[in-house]
Each structure stands twice: as C-alpha cells, then as structure tokens.
Structure 1
Amino acid sequence: MSQHFDHQNFQQICDNLATADADLALIVSTYGYPPLWSRPNSFESLVHIILEQQVSLASALSALNKLKDAIQEITPARVLLLTDEEFKACYFSRQKTAYVRYLAEAILSGQINLAGFENQLDDEVRAKLTSLKGIGNWTVDVYLMFVLHRADIFPAGDLAAVNSMKKVKQLPHDTTREELIQIAKQWQPYRTVATMLLWHHYLSVRKPR
C-alpha cells in the first residue's frame, strides 16, 4: 500500500528529512515545522482544488465561499442545479464551471468513488481522476497530499514548490522539470512532507516582516 503520514508521525518525518538534507534542516531551524495541511475527502475539497488551478489561493477560496453561500452545502446534486449565470456570480470561469459539473456527474453516476480511493494505490487514483476533463496531475497531486495524506508525492507542476526548491537548493533558474524530479528522489519515501517544507519556506519568506 502507499505510505501515509498523519499528526502522529508528521514531525518525526520532518526530522528524518532534516537529518538527511541540510537544506531542509535549515527550513525547520529557521521557520519551525510546517503545518500539516489537510482537507476532508469530499466533493467540496475537490471543487476547492479545481478552483485553485492557476489562480491565487485567496481568489479560489473566495469563489468557494461564494458557492457555499449560494447553495449552503457543496454537493454534486446541488451544483448541478446551478445555471451558468449562477456559477458566474460565484466567480467561476466557464472552464471551471464545466470541470465541476463533469466531476459532479462522475460522482453521482458512480464513475468516481471518493471513499473507495482511500484503499487504492496512488497510480489507480491518478488514472481515475485524470480521466475526467479538467483534472490533471497537479490537481491529483494536491488531492493525494492534502486529502489522502499519501507520503511520497512531488508535485513537479507546482510553481511555489518548484521556486522554493530552486531557492533552497541554490539551483539555476533554468533547471528543468526532469532535473527537479531527479533531485526530489532523494526525499523518497517522503516527498510529500519535503514538499510541505518547501511550501512552508515559500510562504514564510513571503510573509511581511
């Protein structure tokens, strides 16, 4: 089975990574442990991740909250009752409106079973989710990391993680995606937690003093 992490072992994994990698050790000693970012295994969580594709986290959250105000509970059945105009009023683009509808239909038809994902391998979850329009590898990476707490995911398409990695490792700006994936292999089997350390660094550096 795929390895998991939780509140019991999260800081221990951070310590193990720090022992093996001086750059990660510096993040922990400077900024402390990262939060264990976590979301429930729900349709709402996946809608939230779809909203976060290629936009700021703040604008994604405001669209999610607007949707919640409109329908109280974000369920597949409720979102399918919304018109294009109602989605637009919740700050959804045409594309994201379509993606959320595809996902809602896939869940209602039984094509996608979120609870079932908890017992499936990472690759099986990825294959099922990426078969849906509008869900690519980045969305699946975040779902595996935040929702299913899978321990060994490196989201090579995540700009914040990649930029932080280049900075922390003092890599040239034009380091390729393949090179980054190769470097991240040293963090196996805990690439998710290493990525959370990178995000923690990214957010801490950007915080106003």
Structure 2
Amino acid sequence: MDDILFRRTVEELTESDEHLAALVEAHGTPTLWLRPAGFPSLVLFILEQQVSLASAAAAYARVLDRVGSMTPAAILAATPEELRTDGVSRQKDRYLRALATAVLTQRLDLDGLAELDDDGVRRELTSLPGIGRWTADVYLLACLGRPDLWPVGDRALQVATAEALGLDGVPTQAELEDLGERWRPHRSTAARLLWHGYLDRRGRVETPVTVLG
C-alpha cells in the first residue's frame, strides 16, 4: 500500500459504496496512516490493547524516555517496577519481555515477516504470548501495508461500521466479518475510512508516528 494505491482504492470504494462516500464527504480522505515495521511498533500495539490510543501513547513515551531507545535489550534491562511506574501493567510487561526475548533469540524474525503471506505473519506473531489476532492484523495493515485486512476484533472498527451503515447495534466479530465482505479486496482502505470518521466525530486523531521515537 502506498499513497497512489490508497487514493485509487478510495476512489473505487466511494464510487461503489454510498456509505463510504458519505464518510469521505463528511470527514474528508485521511492521509495514508502507516507505522514503520519492527519492534517499536509492536510494543505500541501491545500497549494499545484495551486502552485508549492516548493512554497507550503516553505510556510508550514514558517507557521510551526511561530506556532511551526502544529496543529488545533496553526493554529487558528495565525492571518490572520501573515499567509499572511508566504505566505498563504486569500482564503487558510479561508480553513485552516475551516479545523482546523472541526477537533477541531470533525465534521471531521481524524483518522476515514481510516475505510471508498474511496467514504466515499471523502464525508467527500469535505464537507469542499477548499477541492475538487483533495485534497481528493491525501490524499487517499498518506496518506491512497489506491491502485487504479487516481487524474484526477492533472495537472502534465495530462501532464505526455500525455508525456508517446505520445499524441498530454494534456488530459482533462474526457479523463484522460478514459486513466487511462488501469491501473486499480493499478492506484495509475501508477500515481506514471508517476509523477516520470514528475519530473525527470524537475530535481525536491517530497516534502520530513521531511517538515511536
């Protein structure tokens, strides 16, 4: 996914889908939101689990300020007590240490993920504690730029889809999976448009890439 392909798929989707067209009319076309592939982005995605983007970004910034550079070795060198002070829960501390250890021991080849298909990336990432389908899917979408990702476990996407389609209730993951079929094979772009509308209606923005340091 690059800017040219993103603009092209936005045009294609909005020409064929009145709901996405209305979103773009109301909120504009977002910039292509991507994060660099690698360890820092995975750390931030883990911190974003089940909390607000703002809370996760603040915790990440405190950890980064403490360790100086967001690397596996730096995370392992910090004590659990220090990371707890920075806003990292015991559970997420365990997840971050498992990720850092996997990268350092080369159990997880982060650079090699780009060579795998979507399911292969999911298998590699979800083999680690604390990395489930949601984290793997948003890494595929935002860091590897895959064009047809649809993270059904994302609460904001569930709510955004309900709002955009005028549904009576928020869809379950299974229902969201079915709803997303209308936008295949450009579900990553559809998700970006839905997220943008969701955040804009609430006066929020995506976490800037500069947070990663």
Q: TM-score, normalised by structure 1?
A: 0.94
- Please, which of 83, 93, 99 is the counterpart of residue 89 of structure 2? 93
- Please, which of 181, 185, 200 is the counterpart of residue 196 of structure 2? 200
Conserved? CA contact 2:72–2:104, under 8 Å: yes
The answer to whether residue 152 in structure 2 is matched with residue 156 in structure 1 is yes
CA RMSD of aligned residues (A): 1.2
Partner residue in 1 for 2:112: 116
Partners of 1:22 and 1:34 in 2: CA distance: 17
Cα deviation code 1:26-47 (max 9, x no counterpart): 1111211022111111211100
Aligned length: 204
Moved over 2 A (4+): 174-177
Q: Secondary structure of 2:50's match? A: coil
Unaligned runs of 5+ in 2: 205-213
- Please, which of 136, 139, 146 is the counterpart of residue 135 of structure 2? 139
Aligned pair in 2 of structure 1 residues 24, 78: CA closer, same or farther (>3 Å)? same
Q: What amino acid is aligned across from residue 84 of structure 2 in structure 1?
A: K
- Please, which of 126, 148, 154 is the counterpart of residue 122 of structure 2? 126
Conserved? CA contact 2:35–2:142, under 8 Å: yes
Aligned pair in 2 of structure 1 residues 29, 174: CA closer, same or farther (>3 Å)? closer
Q: TM-score, normalised by structure 2?
A: 0.93
- Give the drift of 1:179: 2.2
Q: What is the percent sequence identity of the aligned residues?
A: 43
Mapping 1:1-209, distance limit 5 Å = 5-173=1-169, 175-207=171-203
Cα deviation code 1:54-74 (max 9, x no counterpart): 001011001111111111101
Q: What amino acid is aligned across from residue 37 of structure 1 in structure 2?
A: W
Partners of 2:105 and 2:22 in 1: CA distance: 48
